[in-house]
Amino acid sequence: MHSPTRARALLLGAGTAIAGLLLTALSSTSSHAVDEDCRPDGLYRTPGVDVPYCSVYDSSGREKMGADHQRRVIGYFTGWRTGKNGEPAYLASDIPWDKITHINYAFAHVGSDHKISVGSDSATNPATGMTWPGVAGAEMDPGFAYKGHFNLLNKFKKQHPEVKTLVSVGGWAETGGYFGDDGKRVNSGGFYAMATNADGSVNQAGIDTFADSAVAFVKKYGFNGVDIDYEYPTTMKDAGHPLDWQFANARRAGLVKGYAALMKTLREKLDRAGAQDGKHYLLTVAAPSSGYLLRGMETFQVQKYLDYVNIMSYDLHGAWNEYVGPNASLYDDGKDAELAAAGVYSTSQYGGIGYLNTDWAYHYFRGSMPAGRINIGLPYYTRGFKNVTGGTDGLWGKAPSTTCPAGSGLTKCGDGAVGIDNLWHDKDDNGKESPAGSNPMWHAKNLEKGVVGDYVTKYGFPADTKLTGTYARKYDATLVAPWLWNAEKKVFLSTEDEQSVAAKADYVVDKGIGGAMIWELAGDYDYNAAKGQYEMGDTLTTAMYEKFKSASPYGTKRSTIDLPTEALDIDVSFGQFPLGDSNYPISPKLKITNNSTATLPGGTEFQFDYGTSAPNNAKDQSGFGTSIIRSDHTGNNIGGLKGVYHRASLKLPAWQSLAPGASVELDFVYYLPVSTPSNWTVTVGGKAYALAGDLARGTTIGQPGTGSPSPSPSGPGTGSPSPSQPGGACTPAAWNATAEYGGGTVVSHKSHTWKAKWWTKGEEPGTTGEWGVWQDLGAC
C-alpha cells in the first residue's frame, strides 16, 4: 500500500527545531513582473531566477489544466501491476486519460549513492525496459530511447498534452531502502541517510547529489516534476517502516531539518532548470494526515516550496491496532474508539476535536496554504478486520489479536482480515500473508454482490472458491464512510464507492480545494455485464471528473481577510520543539527577528492566523499577552470544522524594544498540531504591514516609518533616543539603570550596542564580563 500511517491516537509531542520562514525579494525586471503575476500565493521563488510560472499557472496563480478540469484529479500509477506474474495488469493504456489531470508514477527510490533510481536498465525493468507484445494499446513508441511504462506514459501524453506526469520517489516500502534488481530489499537508509547525517545534522552533500540527479531524471524521461513520498520525516519514535527504524530512530532529532533542506534544494534546482528550459517544474509531496505523525513534523514548514500537497487521508484505521474504524472517513463523529481510549474527547485542552479524518487533515494544511494548493486523498482499496466484537455492524468495535506480522516491529496488532477478504495482501518477513483486509475496490464490489470473480485463481484461490456469509453494505452519513459487514464471519471491510466519492468531490468543490489524489488507479472498477462481475475500470474517477468539470475555479488566496500589500523584513519562526514523543502540550519557541531598518518599540502588535486543526486556546508563557481575537470554529468537529482560522494577537512587552538585527523569543503553547501560522501583520508607527516571509502575491518589500505616526510607549527600553545621544547616533534605546530588560533586548551604552542574554535589571553593560548578561554587539 501507499503508506500505512499507523495512526496512533495518543498525541504525545511534536518535533525538533524548525527552519525559519525564508524570504525572497521580488525583482523589478519586466520578465519577473510577468512571472510574478502567475506565482501561486505563498510559493517560494528562488532568488535571482526568472521562474516561468506562467507556463503552468494563469495570472491568478491557478494551475492551467484544461477547460473541463477545474480541479485536479491526480492518479498514482504503480510500476508493479505489469501482468507478468499472472495477476491482472494495469498499464498506461488503462488510465482514463481524459478524466485525470496528473499522473504520479510510483515509485522511484533513493539509491545507495543518494541518486534517484528505478533500477538497472534491462528488458525486465518495468519502468524503462519491459514490453507487452500483443497487448492492445501497449505498443512502444519508437521515438523514445527507452521502453517500459515511461515509454507508454509519454506516448499517451502526446495525445493528452494537458496531463502532467510526475515521478514519485519513496513510498512505504522504499523510503529507507529499495528493492534491488533481484527483488530483495537493500536497507540503504534511503531518504533518512540521504538527507540527515547519523548525528542529526543536515546531509547537504547527499541532498545536492539527489536533487541534481532528480533534475536530470525528469528531463531524461519527460516528467513534469517530482513528487516526494518520504514516509516519514517525523520525530515520533518507531514511525515509518520497521526496517527503517535502525536509520530513522537515531536521526529523529534532525529529520525535520533534513526534510526542509531537501525541499528547499529541490525547489531551487528545479527552478533553475525550469528557467533554462522555459517551463516550470512541479514539486509536490505525499503528506501524512494523522495528527499523531504530524505532531512530530513541527509546523510542516516545507509547504512554501511545494506547488501543492497531496494529503494521504487514508490508512487512518487498520489492523496495526485493535480499533475497528473507517480507512478514510471525511468527518469525525465523536465516537472514534481509538481517540476515545486515548482521552481525546474527554481532555478539555483538545476541545473535543477528533483528528483521524480527512476534514481535520485538510484544515491542518489550510492553516498555511491556499485551498487550491491542497488535494485530499482517496483510497481505491479497502482495509479490514475479522473476528470483530462490539460496535455497530462492526464500526467502532474491536478486533484484538496477540500476534503481529513478522517484521512489523509491533507487539500487539488487530486481527486483520485474510484470505478472500485480503486479495491485495502483502507478505511479512517470513513470506506469509500479512493480515490487512486489503482489496481493490472491484473485488470488494464483487464481495458485496456475492460474486467470486474469475480472477481469483490468479491470486492463488481455487476456481471453486465459495463465499461464506453475506457482505452487507453499510454507510454512515456523518462520517461519510461506507463499509461491508459480514455478520457471520464478523468481517469489517472499509470501502469507497460512488456515494462516498461523490460526497468527497462535493466537499472539494464547496471548500475551493485544489482537487483529489487517488491511491491507486488500478483499484477503480467497472461492471462487466457479460461476465457478471466487477473488474478494473474508471467508475469512481469518472464520477469525480463529472463533479469537477463544471465547478468554480479553486481558491487561490491563503488569507480570508485583506492584508497589507507592503511587507516588512521581519522574520518569525517556530523552533526548539521537544521531540514528538515528549511534547505535550506542543511547546515550541516563537522567535521574532527584526531585519528592518527601524527599532520596533515596546507594545508593537503582531497578528497571525493559525488553523482550526487546533482549538482556540493557544497562548504564550512569556508575557506577550497572546490572545485569540477571532475564531472561525469553536467546540468539537463532529461533521466537520466550520472555519479556517483562529486569529491571534501578541505584543512586545512595554519594556521590550526590538532593534534592527535583534531577536526575541517567547514560549508558545498549543494542543493539537498546526501547520506554519500565516497571514502575519505588524503595526509600526500607526501603519499595518504584512511580513515578507509569508510570500504573499502582490506584496512589495518596504521599510517602516512611511505611515502616519501613532502614540507609542515612551521611557526606558522603548526605542526613544537618550538625552546623552541626541538624535540617536546609536539606534537602540539607551540603557537605563532602573529599567527591566528581557532576554534578546538590545540597548546602546557608551557608544556600543548590547544584547541581553536573559532578564536583567541594574546590571550595567560592559561591567558583567564575557559570561555575563550583556553581549557586546560592537561600536555604534
Per residue in 55-76, pLDDT tens? 999 999 999 999 999 999 999 9
Do 192 and 251 meet the contact criterion of CB atoms below 8 Å apart? Answer: yes
User: For residue 426, is it within any domain?
Assistant: no
Tell me the pLDDT tens digit for each residue of 449-498: 999 999 999 999 999 999 999 999 999 999 999 999 999 999 999 999 99
Q: What's the mean pLDDT in 114-135?
A: 97
Tell me the pLDDT tens digit for each residue of 431-445: 899 999 999 999 999
Tell me the pLDDT tens digit for each residue of 292-320: 999 999 999 999 999 999 999 999 999 99
User: What are φ and ψ of residue 361, in 5° steps?
Assistant: -65, -40
Q: Which residues does residue 481 pair with via DSSP β-bridges, in sequence order?
A: 476
The C-alpha atoms of residue 45 and residue 53 are separated, in whole angstroms, by 10
**What pLDDT shows up at residue 335?**
98
Residue 660 CA from chain centroid, whole number: 34
Compute the CA torsion angle 288, 292, 297, 300 (nearest 10 deg). Answer: 50
User: What are φ and ψ of residue 255, in 5° steps?
Assistant: -65, -40
Q: Which residues does residue 657 pair with via DSSP β-bridges, in sequence order?
A: none
User: For residue 77, is it within any domain?
Assistant: yes
638 and 547 co-located in one domain:
no
523 and 591 co-located in one domain:
no
Residue found under cell 489531470: 101
Find the domain containing 748 and state its range: 740-779
Q: Which CATH number belongs to the domain containing residue 748 in this structure?
A: 2.10.10.20
**What pLDDT shows up at residue 578?**
95
509 and 544 co-located in one domain:
yes
Residue 253 CA from chain centroid, whole number: 19
Q: Point out the domain boundary residue: 540, 558, 576.
A: 558
219 and 80 co-located in one domain:
yes
**What pLDDT shows up at residue 316?**
98
Q: What's the mean pLDDT in 197-223?
A: 98
Do 73 and 100 meet the contact criterion of CB atoms below 8 Å apart? Answer: yes
Predicted confidence band of residue 777 (pLDDT cuts 50, 70, 90): confident
**What pLDDT shows up at residue 744?**
72
Higher pLDDT, 672 or 707: 672
For 33-80, where are the E strands, in sequence order?
72-78
**What pLDDT shows up at residue 518?**
98
552 and 579 co-located in one domain:
no
The C-alpha atoms of residue 169 and residue 107 are separated, in whole angstroms, by 5
**What pLDDT shows up at residue 583?**
87
Predicted confidence band of residue 595 (pLDDT cuts 50, 70, 90): very high
181 and 279 co-located in one domain:
yes
Q: Which residues does residue 186 pair with via DSSP β-bridges, in sequence order?
A: 178
**What pLDDT shows up at residue 770?**
60
195 and 311 co-located in one domain:
yes
The C-alpha atoms of residue 368 and residue 543 are separated, in whole angstroms, by 30
Residue 23 CA from chain centroid, whole number: 21
Q: Which residues does residue 688 pair with via DSSP β-bridges, in sequence order?
A: 683
User: For residue 675, is it within any domain?
Assistant: yes
For 413, the 3-state DSSP assignment is coil
pLDDT above 90 (res 261): yes
pLDDT above 90 (res 202): yes
602 and 553 co-located in one domain:
no
User: For residue 166, is it within any domain?
Assistant: yes
Q: What's the mean pLDDT in 641-665?
A: 96
Tell me the pLDDT tens digit for each residue of 357-400: 999 999 999 999 999 999 999 999 999 999 999 999 999 999 99
Residue 651 CA from chain centroid, whole number: 31
**What pLDDT shows up at residue 729?**
53
User: For residue 289, is it within any domain?
Assistant: yes
pLDDT above 90 (res 205): yes
User: For residue 643, is it within any domain?
Assistant: yes
Q: What's the mean pLDDT in 530-553?
A: 98
548 and 571 co-located in one domain:
no
**Helix, strand, coil fractions of the chain, as percent rounded to 5:** 20, 25, 55
658 and 762 co-located in one domain:
no
User: For residue 123, is it within any domain?
Assistant: yes
Overall domain count for the chain: 3
Taking the CB of residue 169, how many other CB atoms lie within 10 A of it? Answer: 27
140 and 214 co-located in one domain:
yes
Q: Which CATH number belongs to the domain containing residue 510 in this structure?
A: 3.20.20.80
Tell me the pLDDT tens digit for each residue of 712-741: 222 222 233 222 233 335 778 888 888 877
User: For residue 642, is it within any domain?
Assistant: yes
Q: Which CATH number belongs to the domain containing residue 671 in this structure?
A: 2.60.40.290
Residue 186 CA from chain centroid, whole number: 27
Q: Point out the domain boundary residue: 701, 728, 760.
A: 701
Predicted confidence band of residue 201 (pLDDT cuts 50, 70, 90): very high
231 and 268 co-located in one domain:
yes
Q: Point out the domain boundary residue: 676, 701, 726.
A: 701
Taking the CB of residue 265, how many other CB atoms lie within 10 A of it? Answer: 20
Q: Which residues contact 285 (CB under 8 A, 6 or more apart)?
A: 227, 228, 229, 230, 263, 302, 306, 309, 310
**What pLDDT shows up at residue 35?**
85
The C-alpha atoms of residue 532 and residue 484 are separated, in whole angstroms, by 20
Task: Report DSSP state, residue 560.
Answer: S
pLDDT above 60 (res 662): yes
Q: Which residues contact 673 (CB under 8 A, 6 or more apart)?
A: 11, 14, 291, 294, 295, 297, 355, 364, 586, 613, 614
**What pLDDT shows up at residue 2?**
52
The C-alpha atoms of residue 270 and residue 244 are separated, in whole angstroms, by 28
Q: What is the full DSSP assignment across 584-621? A: SSB--EEEEEE-SSSPBPTT-EEEEEEETTS-S--EES
The C-alpha atoms of residue 555 and residue 42 are separated, in whole angstroms, by 13
In single-letter form, the type of residue at position 490 comes to: K
The C-alpha atoms of residue 675 and residue 678 are separated, in whole angstroms, by 9
Burial of 706 (0-12, 13-18, 19+ CB in 10 A): exposed
Task: Report DSSP state, residue 571.
Answer: E
- Comparing 18-22, 46-50, 285-289, 697-701, the range with the smallest average pLDDT is 18-22
Predicted confidence band of residue 6 (pLDDT cuts 50, 70, 90): very low
**What pLDDT shows up at residue 717?**
29
